[in-house]
């Protein structure tokens, strides 16, 4: 026996006499993996504060998944007990989308995660019967709401836990402003105002901005993370409508 033999598990055998790769992995190696090599168990969600929040994220591109990625991070943060809020622009509805969406039901079931929809029916510039001036008014009001939420976060200590049932204007650890970049791309919100919003946020607020098929070059040097979600193929190109459970 060598001095290191006691750090290695004996390989177990299955019913076919074949060894288990996991059991043959050195215990010292497994101890350095997330969870020490053991499957994590869910824990109750209790108010907590993040240690390393404070970045600006921008998710853009012509591919599906920008909002989905942002909400995924929201659920992950809420699962750790952090206070998360999502403000949606441009997603008031369309004739292919039902009024109640799966993500809203899921968010409502998770402590500490809230949302509000400030969108206008239809999509700006798509000749769907919606009025452009109404889109502009809705976008302007939603942007003012985003400024209010950022200001609220600046008034509290984000290094401390926040009430999971607290009003979002009383502070959040993560703020998702969904489709803001699309509104800026369509001229409904000034790109300079988006930059000002990002630069005005408190240092510990994680600000996540999504939207736009066009690159938000105005965020270069402002956003810490910029991700291009690129389309390779999309069922919409073949005439497929939004599907319940995937698009809403």
- The reply to whether 115 and 28 lie within a common domain is no
Predicted confidence at residue 11, as pLDDT, reads 42
- The reply to whether 126 and 3 lie within a common domain is no
- The reply to whether 111 and 74 lie within a common domain is yes
Q: What sign has the CA pseudo-torsion 80, 85, 91, 93?
A: positive
Q: Is residue 45 part of a domain?
A: no
Q: Is residue 111 part of a domain?
A: yes
Task: Count how many domains the chain has.
Answer: 2
Task: Round to whole Å and give the CA distance between 120 and 40.
Answer: 42
- The reply to whether 204 and 103 lie within a common domain is yes
Task: Round to whole Å and give the CA distance between 14 and 35.
Answer: 25
Q: Is residue 16 part of a domain?
A: yes
Q: Is residue 228 part of a domain?
A: yes
Is residue 245 within 8 Å of 102, Cβ to Cβ? Answer: yes
Predicted confidence at residue 38, as pLDDT, reads 80
Mean pLDDT of 68-86: 97
- The reply to whether 19 and 93 lie within a common domain is no
pLDDT in tens, 125-145: 544 445 566 778 888 999 999
Mean pLDDT of 87-105: 71
pLDDT in tens, 10-43: 444 444 444 444 455 666 676 777 767 788 888 9
- The reply to whether 225 and 154 lie within a common domain is yes
Predicted confidence at residue 28, as pLDDT, reads 67
Phi and psi of 105, rounded to 5°? -65, -40
Reading the block at residue 176, the tokens are: 């998702």
- The reply to whether 60 and 28 lie within a common domain is no
Q: Is residue 138 part of a domain?
A: yes
Q: Is residue 70 part of a domain?
A: yes
- The reply to whether 223 and 104 lie within a common domain is yes
pLDDT in tens, 140-185: 999 999 999 999 999 999 999 999 999 999 999 999 999 999 999 9
- The reply to whether 8 and 72 lie within a common domain is no
Predicted confidence at residue 6, as pLDDT, reads 44
Q: Is residue 246 part of a domain?
A: no
Beta-strand pair 174-178/84-88: parallel
Q: Is residue 126 part of a domain?
A: yes
Q: What is the pTM of this model?
A: 0.81
- The reply to whether 114 and 159 lie within a common domain is yes
Helix (H) or strand (E) holding 76: helix 66-79
- The reply to whether 99 and 174 lie within a common domain is yes
- Say whether pLDDT at 1 is over 60: no
Q: Which domain holds residue 95?
A: 56-238
pLDDT tier at 121, thresholds 50, 70, 90: low
Predicted confidence at residue 133, as pLDDT, reads 65
Mean pLDDT of 187-198: 96
Which position has the higher pLDDT, 182 or 100?
Answer: 182
- The reply to whether 15 and 126 lie within a common domain is no
Is residue 101 within 8 Å of 115, Cβ to Cβ? Answer: no
Give the CATH number for residue 204. Answer: 3.40.50.300
Report which of 167, 173, 165 is spatially closest to residue 202, judged by C-alpha positions: 173
């Amino acid at each position: 026996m060598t001095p290191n033999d006691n750090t290695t598990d004996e390989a177990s055998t299955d019913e076919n006499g074949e060894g288990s790769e996991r059991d043959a992995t050195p215990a010292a190696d497994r101890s350095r993996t997330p969870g020490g090599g053991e499957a994590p168990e869910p824990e109750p969600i209790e108010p907590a504060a993040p240690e390393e929040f404070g970045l600006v994220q921008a998710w853009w591109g012509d591919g599906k998944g920008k909002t989905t990625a942002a909400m995924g991070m929201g659920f992950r943060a809420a699962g750790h007990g952090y206070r998360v809020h999502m403000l949606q622009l441009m997603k008031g509805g369309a004739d292919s989308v039902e009024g109640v969406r799966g993500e809203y039901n899921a968010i409502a079931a998770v402590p500490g995660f809230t949302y509000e929809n400030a969108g206008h029916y239809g999509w700006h510039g798509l000749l769907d019967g919606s009025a452009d001036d109404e889109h502009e008014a809705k976008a302007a009001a939603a942007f003012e709401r985003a400024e209010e939420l950022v200001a609220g976060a600046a008034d509290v200590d984000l290094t401390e836990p926040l009430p999971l049932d607290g009003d979002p204007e009383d502070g959040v650890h993560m703020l998702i402003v969904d489709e803001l970049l699309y509104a800026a791309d369509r001229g409904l919100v000034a790109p300079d105002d988006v930059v000002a919003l990002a630069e005005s946020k408190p240092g510990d607020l994680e600000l996540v901005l999504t939207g736009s098929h066009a690159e938000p070059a105005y965020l270069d040097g402002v956003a810490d993370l910029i991700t291009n979600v690129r389309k390779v193929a999309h069922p919409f190109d073949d005439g497929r409508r939004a599907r319940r459970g995937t698009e809403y």
